[in-house]
């Protein structure tokens, strides 16, 4: 599944081609993704895209009359291509732009979403319980410390919970915990304030670096410009079970936490 850096890279990739463009047509080729695509998306015809924002893993295309909300699901991707480009089998939704290009959502598994929010509509329930964005000042080690008190769940599960902080998926949680020297199995409520401050710093650093490098290239995801991400070359623990730790040469182990496998160093992470 594309994680926060990949979604942010998609936003950065399409923004120069879409913002400021007038939408000349809205085409729904498959009306049902994770949820049915609402008829209200057709209101965008004739409107100008004034901004593209991101909230967690959702992209928000803003216009004067409302906001189009996109989610890439498990395997989705966005492309800006010339209007004459032949539509692919899994291109389920597109916006035709006044530049004679179009923004296409390709989603082989159809777990993505296309939603609509009116300008006077209260926040969608999708966003109502989301925690802070990790790359903002609203997110800190102090926040993690306060929210973790009495929590018995593993710290990795805790930081991957979108109610505590959004967008810290499996790859980046694994890398940040390793960098901070925190065992992913430890109970969230038994980690000190100082260690949470360190962990928060590494979460910010790892995510920022991943965005800078273009996102991690996963099997089902490439960047908006079609080029793979490069952060995977810098992964120190994720996907390296059985290999030696880069710090101490101890064999990296894997543990199952919830429905996720987590790689860690039994010597460096406490």
Residues annotated as catalytic are 2-3, 57, 260
Q: Is 202 known as a binding-site position?
A: no
Query: Which DSSP string corresponds to 160-206?
Result: T-TTTSSS--HHHHHHHHHHHT--TTSBGGGS-HHHHHHHHHHHHHH
In the numeric block, which tokens belong to residue 221? 């995801």
Tell me which residue of 150, 205, 143 sits closest to 180, measured CA to CA.
205
Q: Is 151 known as a binding-site position?
A: yes
How far apart, in whole angstroms, are the C-alpha atoms of residue 206 and residue 138?
A: 17
CA atoms within 13 A on the CB side of 96: 13
Q: Is 79 known as a binding-site position?
A: no
In the numeric block, which tokens belong to residue 38? 């609402």
- Residue length, the chain? 270
How far apart, in whole angstroms, are the C-alpha atoms of residue 192 and residue 22?
A: 52
For the beta carbon of residue 76, count every other beta carbon within 10 angstroms: 28
Which residues make up each annotated binding site for DNA? 90, 109, 151
Which residues make up each annotated binding site? 90, 109, 151
């Amino acid at each position: 599944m594309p994680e926060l850096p990949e979604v942010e890279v998609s936003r950065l990739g399409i923004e120069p081609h879409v913002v400021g463009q007038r939408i000349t047509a809205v085409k729904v080729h498959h009306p049902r993704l994770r949820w049915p695509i609402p008829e209200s998306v057709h209101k965008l015809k004739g409107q100008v895209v004034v901004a593209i924002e991101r909230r967690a893993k959702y992209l928000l295309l803003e216009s004067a009359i409302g906001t189009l909300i996109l989610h890439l699901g498990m395997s989705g991707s966005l492309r800006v291509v010339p209007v004459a480009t032949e539509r692919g089998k899994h291109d389920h939704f597109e916006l035709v732009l006044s530049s004679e290009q179009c923004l296409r959502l390709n989603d082989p598994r159809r777990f993505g979403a296309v939603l609509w929010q009116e300008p006077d509509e209260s926040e969608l329930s999708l966003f109502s319980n989301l925690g802070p964005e990790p790359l903002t000042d609203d997110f800190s080690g102090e926040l993690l410390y306060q929210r973790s008190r009495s929590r018995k769940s593993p710290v990795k599960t805790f930081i991957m919970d979108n109610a505590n902080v959004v967008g810290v998926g499996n790859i980046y949680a694994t890398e940040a915990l390793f960098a901070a020297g925190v065992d992913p199995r430890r109970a969230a409520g038994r980690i000190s304030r100082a260690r949470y401050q360190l962990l928060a710093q590494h979460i910010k650093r790892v995510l920022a670096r991943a965005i800078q490098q273009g996102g991690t290239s996963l099997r089902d995801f490439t960047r908006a410009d079609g080029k793979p991400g490069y952060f995977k070359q810098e992964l120190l623990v994720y996907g390296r079970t059985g290999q030696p730790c880069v710090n101490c040469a101890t064999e990296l182990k894997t543990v199952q936490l919830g429905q996720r496998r987590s790689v860690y160093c039994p010597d460096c992470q406490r």
